Structures are given as structure tokens and as C-alpha cells.
Structure 1
Amino acid sequence: MNGPTVGVEEEFLLLDPRTGENVPAAPAVAGKLPERLREQHRREFRHSMIEMVTPVCGSLDEVRDSLLRMRQAAADGAAAAGANLVALGATPVGEPGLTVTDDSRYRAIVGHYGPIVGDPAVCGCHVHVGVPDRETAIKVSNHLRPWLPVVQAMFVNSPFFAGADTGHASWRSMQLDRWPGLGPTPYFESGPDLERTVRLLVGAGVMMDDSLLLWHARPSARYPTVEVRVADVCPSAADAVLLTALIRALVGTALDDVAAGRRALPIPDWVLKAAHWNAAHNGLGGTLLDPSRETTRPAWELVDELVETVTPALDRHGDLDTTYELVAALRTVGTGTDRLRREHERAGGDLVATLAGAARRTVAG
């Protein structure tokens, strides 16, 4: 193993093949999973979602194999339950009934946040990267802040809502903006600084408790990892492998900076919030706000700068060739949102046909 360990969490929608609506089939799908994969399943907030989690992995090959195996098993279980497993960041048509999993914690969230909980399901891809300890995780999160908007732009995959194109590349991101406790990671000097902030937010009711600290990058409360949760669920396993490689390399680069005593740039929160909104709206289809320079730049110029910045870490991890190939493929085929919009146009505006294509891509090798 040449780099930090990684783990990937993927959330998927369960859709009716005939209507494209969300189907509350998660319990049935979970029951159809092979015994060997049931430990990698997690219950989600809604019965129309299913989450699968890789084991701790040391290489991209391990990540890829695990993702393909989990996606296929979950898709087979969904088919047996009369649904399609679809890697899509936001509910594309609707969610009749909005069935919430019967769990005391989920019921408490409903009671605390009220009508926001009625928003239809959204699905992300979260990458955990191993770090030595919590203090290091906090410093690494500071260094990640200026790069996460461009990562978000690369992995947008949710243009549709209520049966129509929203005009946003990631409707999931727009929808999540309604929740307090989400958004750009604040800059923290230390563990006590973070803990003081969390106590204040919990005391004010912005967070129901400290487990609902859901910033784009966060030190895990349970493991020695940094969790990055800015991306929509990826349309294919190959996209998720690219996301994993880039996040691991960003963390590796940040660890180098921390070891060398280089402080992260304290970018104002409002600049980061604007950069993330811009990324969620545009994807890679125009300009992005560069938080470090506080100016707009062509999106692919920022992607190239990101890749160049993390190239030493990619090389050290053994991920360089794979990442270069996958970035070249992304440049050719576009983001998940780009692909969905092209397919939607080719299908003459037939969203159900578009979603069927997305279901096939979800399990494609």
C-alpha cells in the first residue's frame, strides 16, 4: 500500500422503471443482498434509498472491485423488488409518501427540522481517507477548502427535479442548502476550536447533535479519517474511482503541507459558499470561482491545476496513470449531468428512458 487507506460510501435511488418515481423498496432490496455483502449495507433516511459502503481499501483496484460488486448486488436486489437502482444525486420525478425509515434517531430528526425533512431523497458519494489523528484531520480539512468546489463541479450528477431540468448541474447541492450544519467546512485552528463551535451550533439548535456536523469535509468522530462529502453519487464506478483517487491525493498533498508547517489559506466562508454554489450550478460547463484568487476562471483550467497540484501524491500512491486516463475520459464524455442532458435530448425529452439509461450506467464496468 503506497498511500493512505480509503473507504467509499455510495447512496442510490430506487426508482419505478415505468414512471421514474421513487419506490420505498429499501427493506426488500436489503433482504435480497448476498450474505457476504450485508455488512456493507447501511440503512438510509428514506426507504427509497440504499447505501453501500466499501471495506477499508489500500488501492484503487480494491475500490473499483468493491464498487462494482456492491452496485451489481444492489441492482439485482432492486430488480427482484421491482425497482431500478439508479446512481443519481437527486429525486428526478417525485417521491409519493416520502417514507422515512422507522428509527428513533430519524424520528428525532423529523421532529427537530420539520418540513425540510419533506424534501425528496438526495444521494451522495462520500470518501474517507485515513490520517494519523483528529488534530491532523482538522488541519487537512483546512487545506482542502479551496479545492472542494472544483471537485464538486467535476462530479455533478443531478439536473432533474419534478420531471424537468432545473437548469442546475447539481440539484442535490441546491436542495441540501436548506439544511443547517451543511456547507463549506469552517477554518479551525485546533480541536478545541472545532469543539467550541460545535457546542455553540448544537446549543442554538442549528445541529440537533454533534453527529449532524455535515460539512463538505469533516474529521470523523469515530475513525482517524477525513470524510469528504461534496460530490453527488457518481454515475458509474469508474467516476467513483476517479473521485477517490483525487480525494486521496488531495489529502496526501495536505499531509505534506501539514508536515512542512505550511498553513492553509484562510479563505472567507462567503467566498467558499459562492464558489460551491457556482460549481453546483455550472458543473464544468463554463467558469468557476477560484476561491484562492477570488476570480472566475474556465472550469477546465481549474481541473488541470488541481491535477497538477496533486500529481506528486498520485504518483506516490500508484494512482497516476489511472487518474490521467479517467480525467481524459471525463473531458471527453463530460460530467454525469452532461451525460444525462445529452441522453434526455436524444430521447426526445423522455425522462423515463433517460433514467433507464442511467440505471444501466450504474452497473456498467
Structure 2
Amino acid sequence: MNTAPTLGVEEEFLLLDPATGENVPLVEPLLATLPDDLRDRTRLEFRRCMLELVTAPAVDLTDVAEQLHRLRSAAASAATGVGARVVPVGATPVSDTDRRTTTNPRFAAIAGHYGPIARDPAVCGCHVHVGVPSRAAAIDVCRRIRPWLPVVQALAVNSPLHAGADTGYASWRSVQLDRWPSLGPIPHFESADEYDRTVGALVASGVMLDATMVLWHCRPSTTYPTVEVRVADVCPTVGDTVLVAGLVRGLVATALAGSLDSGRVPDHLLRAAHWNAAHTGLAGTLLDPRVGRARPAWTLVDELLETLGPALRRNGDADVVTLELERLQHVGTGAERQRRTFARTGSISAVLAELSLEE
């Protein structure tokens, strides 16, 4: 019997015009055409041009992959029916002219509170939930895994294009989200009480509208007994998503076993490491916040894999994660793949057509 922690994945996608590549506000009619059994696995996101697909909790990575394939295929078919494409890309590639929120009153409250930054062009991420035994354990896990999250972010960069041009960043989504005051590395918390006091003070200041506005890169879920990791751009393929999910579960399982503790890493170094990951992805060096210096990106990836090895084997994820990492090293990150296509064709439309989900 597999006793690995449960795993769930949320993927956000843009709905784009097939001809122009612009964001289109068609999520409501798209959801209406999905099969009934899959509609429960969707969520209305912040914008009408965004679609969120959510897997059911699973133990085996193969189950997660099968769910992702089915959800992506169904979404692609529904999008064709309403004249749109579903595209796994982390930032708005061309333009976002209709920036209304969906009908959730909470989203309207967020837009009213945060003003212009809530009306920035839409961005899409991949969030991974991993089961933990308690809230106290979730806080401890978040503290232990935070020095490694820039490496996970660098593996998943998939938004180099914005407003019709190459931004020079591998993840423009990450840069854009830095405008939000409650987003970034989770602080170093020693207890749930310290976490609660901090969140309460931030809500009182207005930095957070309410306690659900904890948007840190990892956080204890307010709804489920999980740790949620939020550093990844939405991934171009199911294989990329499975890799991120397997590594995140490996991090959480290693932390739960007490085998992951790098001491108190300064917040300013963590922020610099995340900026570095967003800027270059795996194409160069990454700041290792544990030692405060830049190191070759793939050296850090290899160290991460070695560190997580026992947990990956216990979880039954080692073979899948190793194969997906080898593939990633061969084909490059999502950002690198987009840039190759853009350099070859000179066309953002060609990049988006290549990325679009297939039925």
C-alpha cells in the first residue's frame, strides 16, 4: 500500500483568441459546455479569460497525470466550441482588454481594495497541495522547504512573453506578481501561534484584505489539511506539471521526516533567489540562499534530487521524476521552448499555437 502524502494540483489557463492571441472573456460559456462530471473539477478564477482545472486528491503520480490529461483535453474541446484556445502560459502574451473579474463577490472586493495592481493583465500558475497531518506540521514544513523553492520556480518558468514581446525574463508572471504586497517567500515561522499573530497584524494593516489573502510562495491551506506551494508558472505539458508535483511532494515528505533544515535563511536572500529564478530560469546560475552565492542552476537541481531521493523512493515517484528531469534537461524549460519557437518563426501566434492544449 502506498503511504505517500496525498497530492492535488490546480492549473490555471488563459483563454485566447485563435487569430489574434488576445485574452478573451469566455470562461462562463466554456464551463457550460464541459461534461457534468468534469465541471466539479473547475473553478471560476479572478478573470473571465482564465480557466482553473483541479485534480481530485491522489496518491499515485500516474493518477495525477491521467486526471490532468483528461481535464486538459476536455477543456480544449470546450474552448473550440466557444471559439477560443486554452493555452498554458504564465503571463498575458499579447493583450488583455477586458479585465473584469468573474462574478465572485470576493474577487470584486479584492479588486476594490488593491486597485490598479488587481487590474494588471492576467497571469496563470500551477499550485500543488500536499497532505500533512496537522496545521502545526504545515507551518513547520513551510519553514523547512522555503530555501529550495527558487529551484522549483526555475524549473517551471513559462512566461517570457508579454504585450507582444520578449520581456527578457523567464517568468514575467513572477515579476508581475511582486506588485502584490502579501506575496513572496513565507517568513520564517517557528510556530502556528507566530504565524497567526503575523497574519492578524497584516490584516489589521490592510496589507492583507483578510486571512485568505496569504499569497506567500508556500502556505498552510485555509481549506484543506495541506501545504500549498504556489511558485510555478502553469506548465506547458502534463509531464512538466507532474515533475513539479513530484518534487513538491518530495520536499514536503522530506520536511515531515525531519530531514530538511537549512537554518534561518534571510528573507532578502530568498527574495533575491526568487528574482534570479524568474529572470534566468535554469539558463545560467541561481542564487543559493543557504550559502549566499550564485551556483550553476543544474548543480542545484542535482542537489535537490539527491536531497529528496529517499522521499521520492518512498513515495514511488523516483523513476517518474528522474525521467522528467532528464527530458527537461534535453528540451529546456517552458520559457526556453517558447523562445526557440519565437526565434525560429518570429511569430507569437506560432508560439501560442504550439502551446495550445489539444483535444
Tell me the TM-score range normalised by the shorter chain: over 0.9
- Partner of 2:355 in structure 1? 358
TM-score by length of 1: 0.97
Query: Could you list the per-position Cα deviations for residues 233-276 of structure 1 after superposition, in whole angstroms to 9, with x for gaps in the alignment?
Result: 00001100111110001111101117xxx755110100000000
1:175 matched to which residue of 2? 176
Percent of paired sites with the same residue: 56
Would you say the 8 A contact 1:41–1:50 is kept in 2? yes
| Alpha carbons 1:68, 1:363 under 8 Å: kept | no
Counterpart residue identity of residue 309, structure 1: T
Contact 2:255 2:261 (8 Å CA) reproduced: no
Please show how residues 293-308 of structure 1 align to structure 2 within 5 Å: 293-308=291-306
Render the CA deviation track for 1:85-116: whole Å, top value 9, x for unaligned.
Answer: 00000000001121211221111111100011
- Report the Cα distance in structure 2 between the residues aligned to 1:83 and 1:345, rounded to whole angstroms: 25
SS at match of 1:257: coil
Q: 1:354, 1:114 → 2: CA distance?
A: 32
Unaligned runs of 5+ in 2: none
Pairing partner for 1:326 from 308, 324, 327: 324
- How many Å separate the matches in 1 of 2:358 and 2:3? 28
Q: Which residue of 1 aligns with 2:70?
A: 69
User: Is residue 132 of structure 1 aligned with residue 133 of structure 2?
Assistant: yes
Of 307, 315, 318 in structure 2, the residue corresponding to residue 317 of structure 1 is 315
Letter paired with 1:239: D
Cα distance per residue 1:35-68 (max 9 Å; x no partner): 1101100001100000010000010011000000
Q: Quick one: distance in 1 between partners of 2:105 and 2:222?
A: 21
Q: Which residue of 1 aligns with 2:54?
A: 53
User: What does 1:112-131 align with in structure 2 at a 5 Å threshold?
Assistant: 112-131=113-132
Cα distance in 2 for partners of 1:228, 1:363 equals 27
Determine whether 1:283 maps to 2:281: yes
For 2:229 and 2:262, locate their aligned partners in 1 and report how far apart those are by CA, in whole Å.
Answer: 17
Q: Say if 1:237 and 1:363, in contact at 8 Å, map to a contact too.
A: no
Matched residue of 1:146: which SS? helix
Gaps of 5+ in 1: none
Name the residue aligned to 1:7: 8
Residue 101 of structure 1 aligns to a residue in which SS?
A: coil
* Counterparts of 1:353 and 1:331, CA distance in 2: 23
Aligned counterparts, 1:1-365, within 5 A = 1-257=2-258, 264-347=262-345, 349-359=346-356, 362-363=357-358
Kindly state the Cα deviation for residue 117 of structure 1 after the two structures are TM-superposed. 1.2
Residue aligned with 2:147, SS: coil
CA displacement at 1:320 relative to structure 2: 0.9
RMSD (CA atoms):
1.1
